[in-house]
Structure 1
Amino acid sequence: MISQYAELAVKVGVNIQAGQTLVIIAPLAAVDFVRLAAEKAYHAGAKNVHIEWSDDRITRLKYDLAPLEAFEEYPIWRAKGFEEMAEQGAAFLSIVASNPDLLKGVNPDKIAAANRSAGVAMQTYRNYIQADRVSWCVIAVPSPEWAARVFPEAPAEDQVNKLWQAIFEATRANLDNPTQAWQEHNSQLDHKVTILNEKRYKTLHYTAPGTALTIDLPERHLWMGGGSVNQDGTPFVANIPTEEVFTTPQRDGVNGTVRSSKPLSYGGNLIEDFSLTFEKGKVVAFTAKKGAETLQRLLDTDEGARYLGEVALVPHYSPISNMNLIFYNTLFDENASNHLALGSAYAFCLEGGKDMSKEELKQNGANDSLVHVDFMIGCEEMDIDGETADGRREPIFRNGNWAF
């Protein structure tokens, strides 16, 4: 089944093409899977497979022992390398396997400095990703630390295997024909996208326990979901799994309060049971029972970190939600719940956005930031209405699920 999962990542995720280069970004904990993915890529016709390794222990050592100024720098050669690969049309496969508590107890100033310096240095590469100019995909493989967090009651020797099985179920890799299953799933998401794009709602109204929020949508907004298409016309799936349809909100059009429904793992720390209050798009107040300092640092990253860059719809009774697991990993938890994202918007969520300059995107209502951080807000009690241009309100979600 691991072989099927690797093939899914290569052929459906990045959809590697003959003669194309694949860049894999992965931790050492995933070395066996990386080797398998590289083999699948070469069999599919890849010209080269380059690996960009990281290691949790080395990362933690640096945070514990290096001075603050070390985190205020970012290796330009690395940023330029990613830019060069993107310019040449490479595909990018990111494999996550991180310990949710990796940076617990670390000086938050170091985490904030690292996020800021990386955000600045990698901005050109990130523009390629956020405009879907290149094929990219994010998937996950288990690590012992992550598995222990998800399945703390299981015997230690069983935890990783249990997480593998959960990943296979969430990504449809356990089905007889995962590729066909993804084609059918993408078709279902496309149907929702078509309906929402035809409706042209100007405002979304959210109500749930602890949540009373309105989100205006830009006039040129586009709903997206399932697969994407890069600038060469090649289809790919950016997140495996994905259960969402999403768009960009109007930067200054968010008002009210929203409460989180799942923990957020950010910067190696967990933020739990938090709420955000918005006025004219900006977060003006927040609460958090755990991780308040981490949330504060996130919001202080730059001006755009206090504004929303994404609104995403996921039914409460989605396959991942029905597993009744908290993955402590945004890739999975965001696909079990309606969610929002603080930070930068996706250019492709605006009509003509892929060809817009940063200033044009801003003029059309899109937010810009060094960060893009999803957080989960959906629950069984959530209702969402869409308001039309003439002021009529229509149900989009009722009791946490699609109303159409």
Structure 2
Amino acid sequence: MDSRIREHAEVIVDHSVRIEKGDTVRVAAPTIAEDLAVAIYEKLGERGAKPSLSMRSSRADRAFFRACETDDFELPEQSLAEMEETDAVIIIKGAENTAEMSDVPPEKIAAYRTATAPVQKERMGKRWVGTQFPAPGEAQLAEMSTDAYEEFVYGAVNKDWDEQREFQRQMVEILDPADEVRLVSGDTTDLQMSVDGMKTINDYGEKNLPGGEVFTAPVPNSVEGEVLFDKPLVHQGREIEGAWLRFEGGTVVEHSAEKNETALTGVLDTDEGARRLGELGIGMNRDIDRFTYNMLFDEKMGDTIHLAIGKAIRQTVPEGQPYNESATHLDMIVDMSEDSFIEVDGKVVQRNGTFRFEDGFED
């Protein structure tokens, strides 16, 4: 087995979810990522854990969704019961065909997410990690050879996470005590929001692997202005390009997209919370140096910020603060490398992708 796969498994088990003897661990993986699942199982066995494995098929998922009616989805009680008894969850991504779900109606996906929201809420309270196996589907989506994509993935994943944590800590110390944030990029994005009372999280490869961002939650009703997401995203097999949102009183009141606007509309119509922001994230992983149409990597890319419509991440919202609830959470990216700045409490803390605490910053 490729030594990089074994290293990936070790980072997952020992760094990301910190498995201990006796832990009940659920591993969910696509069939193409069997090698990584095997390597993880080996590590879990060495640590005396109690694992269960779910090998997923996107073709089977597609067949199920196309056969069901929108009103058929109900809470899967067995899945909730299993999650309640689980200590840690490891979720592996990887596809032979990233567009397998592209002909599933968006309203079916939205209905399923709503029905299974209690399962996801339970999972968020566990030790969990989502990671990527360098499969051919994602390599093709990134317009890379499989070998080159493997190098890219392992370069972003198998790294010194203590060093990355310390680099990102400098931004956490700026954002965590802040009241107001303003994001400006060219003449297409000027967005203001309050983060007063919210918690800023240093993501260094725990919940997401790779990590490489700091993120917080806006106060839901505070977001004002407009934003153009100049990086595309792939959602349920559909590529959305040129997504534009305008906020008033924290709510999306206008939206458009240059491509697949109906897919964006479907997400916004999931529920009331889907029209509000649940996350502000700042990408800081400089080993992710190219856009690959994979949000797990793209949102961590240096010189970018990302905003998520929908569910806030629970750990960013302290008790007593307003929490944005939704069955969806969709990240979208703004390139901040040119003609852009991030302002915190009236002070520019990043300009054209360079942070105030980095060499080359121009005030």
Given the alignment, which residue of 328, 341, 348 partners 2:308?
A: 341
Q: Any gaps of 5 or more consecutive residues in structure 1?
A: 228-235, 388-392
Distance 1:47 1:280 in 2: 48
**Does structure 1 conserve the Cα–Cα contact (< 8 Å) formed by 2:24 and 2:85?**
no
Given the alignment, which residue of 267, 274, 286 partners 1:318?
A: 286
Distance 1:190 1:284 in 2: 35
Distance 2:120 2:127 in 1: 17
User: Which residue in 1 is equivalent to 2:48?
Assistant: 46
Q: Deviations over 1:145-196 (max 9, x none)?
A: 2222212xx6xxxx3322211101112x2xxxx4xx1112112222321233
Q: Deviations over 1:300-321 (max 9, x none)?
A: 1110011111111125x8221x
Is 1:163 the equivalent of 2:165?
no
**Does structure 2 conserve the Cα–Cα contact (< 8 Å) formed by 1:137 and 1:238?**
yes
User: Which residue in 1 is equivalent to 2:294?
Assistant: 329
Given the alignment, which residue of 89, 93, 98 partners 1:92?
A: 89
Is 1:149 the equivalent of 2:149?
no
**Does structure 2 conserve the Cα–Cα contact (< 8 Å) formed by 1:68 and 1:109?**
no
User: Which residue in 2 is equivalent to 1:113?
Assistant: 111
**Does structure 1 conserve the Cα–Cα contact (< 8 Å) formed by 2:246 and 2:253?**
yes
Given the alignment, which residue of 373, 380, 383 partners 2:341?
A: 383
User: Which residue in 1 is equivalent to 2:14?
Assistant: 11
Deviation at 1:115, TM superposition (A): 2.3
C-alpha RMSD of matched pairs (Å): 1.9
Distance 1:345 1:281 in 2: 13
Report the AA paired with residue 338 of structure 1: I
Aligned length: 349
Given the alignment, which residue of 210, 219, 230 partners 1:261?
A: 230
Q: Deviations over 1:47-78 (max 9, x none)?
A: 211112210111122234x0314752342211
| Structure 1 runs (4+) greater than 3 angstroms displaced | none
Secondary structure of the corresponding residue to residue 335 of structure 2: coil
Is 1:252 the equivalent of 2:253?
no
Deviation at 1:3, TM superposition (A): 1.2
Identity %: 29
**Does structure 1 conserve the Cα–Cα contact (< 8 Å) formed by 2:183 and 2:342?**
yes
**Does structure 2 conserve the Cα–Cα contact (< 8 Å) formed by 1:71 and 1:117?**
no
User: Which residue in 1 is equivalent to 2:179?
Assistant: 202
Distance 1:246 1:184 in 2: 18
Report the AA paired with residue 94 of structure 2: A
Distance 1:46 1:23 in 2: 14
Deviation at 1:124, TM superposition (A): 4.0
Relative to its length, the structure with more helix (as a share) is: 1
Is 1:125 the equivalent of 2:82?
no
> Do the aligned partners of residues 71 and 26 (structure 1) sit closer, same or farther apart at CA in structure 2, a change above 3 Å counting?
farther
Deviation at 1:285, TM superposition (A): 0.8
Superposition map of 1:279-294 within 5 A: 279-294=248-263
Report the AA paired with residue 162 of structure 1: A
Deviation at 1:215, TM superposition (A): 1.1
User: Which residue in 1 is equivalent to 2:360?
Assistant: none
Is 1:213 the equivalent of 2:191?
yes
Deviation at 1:107, TM superposition (A): 2.3
Superposition map of 1:135-146 within 5 A: 135-146=127-138
**Does structure 2 conserve the Cα–Cα contact (< 8 Å) formed by 1:100 and 1:269?**
no
**Does structure 2 conserve the Cα–Cα contact (< 8 Å) formed by 1:83 and 1:124?**
no
